[in-house]
């Protein structure tokens, strides 16, 4: 039975790298099918850094199905981190997660305090049947038919409309304040360099839904300081 408890805080500090980078990857449902769909294939030792500066080390994994950060207790139970707003960030080496109305995984920090992050969610594809009755959906998505939770199986979709994992990108800061990646956000952020940013966006046909485009944009903006 899944329980939700608040992690106990220990009074010690750790040093974390100033630069975090990770790209969206395959998510895993096989190893933990009874608990939903997880971001990583196994629970891995990580750190929970609280806003008051306290840190706790524990084995962690992010549950995409429930948008919860899970950990393994001393008794071997799978528990969920409670009251995530009191957490500054969570590191599952080498990945970093922030919480702002849900968990976001950081991709990169260019060095001026701006953080690029993504949220991986399950969405139902509005596919249409192609040859031999095979549904056509987003070519880059990973599809799932069902997941099981507490011993009960839940259907995620069907042959015509399967459920897939997709990424949405966000801009934010080291304090966990994020907004969906957009042209408006970046122009306000670099208000004094708007002309240069506008020219870059136009010249490079930047898409705010593509990770490579956003990384190039952040690299360019980092040079404006």
| Per-residue pLDDT in tens (0 to 9) along the chain, 225 residues | 333 333 333 222 222 223 333 444 445 444 455 566 788 888 999 999 999 999 999 999 998 888 899 999 889 988 998 889 999 999 997 899 999 989 999 987 656 778 899 997 766 555 544 333 344 333 333 444 444 444 444 455 444 445 556 789 999 987 889 999 999 999 999 999 999 999 999 999 999 999 999 999 988 988 886
Asked whether residue 135 is domain-assigned, the answer is: no
How many domains, in total, are found in the chain? Answer: 1
pLDDT of residue 16: 25
Displacement of CA 27 from its chain's centroid (Å): 11
Structure tokens at 162: 């399967």
Rounded Cα–Cα distance for residues 79 and 124 (Å): 28
pLDDT of residue 191: 92
* Domain span including residue 47: 3-123+163-181
Structure tokens at 184: 């408006």
Asked whether residue 141 is domain-assigned, the answer is: no
Structure tokens at 15: 């040093």
Asked whether residue 217 is domain-assigned, the answer is: no
pLDDT of residue 35: 63
Asked whether residue 150 is domain-assigned, the answer is: no
Spatial CA neighbour of 79 closest among 96, 107, 56, 54: 56
Asked whether residue 196 is domain-assigned, the answer is: no
**β strands within 44-203, DSSP E:** 44-50, 55-63, 68-72, 78-81, 87-92, 95-99, 103-108, 115-124, 128-129, 135-136, 142-144, 146-149, 152-155, 163-172, 178-180
Spell out the long-range contacts of 140-144 with Cβ–Cβ below 8 A and sequence spacing 24 or more. Answer: 141/165, 141/166, 142/26, 142/27, 144/29, 144/37
Query: Hunting for tokens 């500090």 — which residue is that?
Result: 13
Sign of CA dihedral 132, 133, 136, 139: negative
Rounded Cα–Cα distance for residues 9 and 24 (Å): 30
pLDDT of residue 164: 59
Asked whether residue 190 is domain-assigned, the answer is: no
Neighbours of 20 (CB within 10 A): 21
Rounded Cα–Cα distance for residues 182 and 91 (Å): 26
Distances (CA, A) of 120 to 34, 131, 173, 181: 20, 30, 19, 14
What angle, rounded to 10 degrees, do the helices at 211-222 and 194-204 form? 150
Rounded to 5°, the CA angle 69-114-21 comes to: 55
pLDDT of residue 182: 96
pLDDT of residue 39: 85
Asked whether residue 43 is domain-assigned, the answer is: yes
Asked whether residue 92 is domain-assigned, the answer is: yes
Structure tokens at 32: 């933990």
């Amino acid at each position: 039975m899944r329980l939700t408890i608040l992690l106990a805080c220990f009074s010690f500090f750790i040093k974390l790298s100033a630069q975090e980078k990770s790209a969206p990857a395959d998510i895993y449902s096989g190893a933990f099918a009874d608990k939903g769909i997880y971001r990583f294939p196994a629970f891995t030792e990580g750190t929970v850094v609280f806003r008051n500066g306290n840190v706790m080390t524990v084995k962690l994994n992010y549950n995409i199905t429930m948008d919860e950060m899970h950990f393994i207790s001393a008794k071997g139970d799978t528990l969920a981190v409670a009251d995530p707003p009191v957490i500054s960030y969570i590191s599952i080496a080498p990945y970093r997660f922030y919480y702002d109305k849900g968990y976001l995984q950081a991709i990169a920090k260019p060095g001026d305090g701006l953080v690029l992050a993504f949220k991986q969610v399950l969405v139902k594809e509005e596919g249409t049947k192609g040859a031999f009755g095979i549904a056509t959906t987003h070519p880059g998505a990973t599809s799932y038919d069902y997941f099981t939770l507490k011993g009960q199986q839940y259907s995620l979709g069907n042959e015509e409309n399967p459920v897939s994992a997709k990424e949405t990108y966000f801009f934010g800061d080291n304090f966990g304040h994020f907004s969906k990646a957009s042209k408006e956000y970046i122009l306000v952020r670099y208000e004094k360099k708007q002309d240069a940013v506008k020219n870059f966006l136009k010249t490079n046909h930047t898409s705010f839904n593509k990770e490579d485009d956003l990384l190039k944009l952040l690299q360019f903006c980092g040079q404006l300081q």
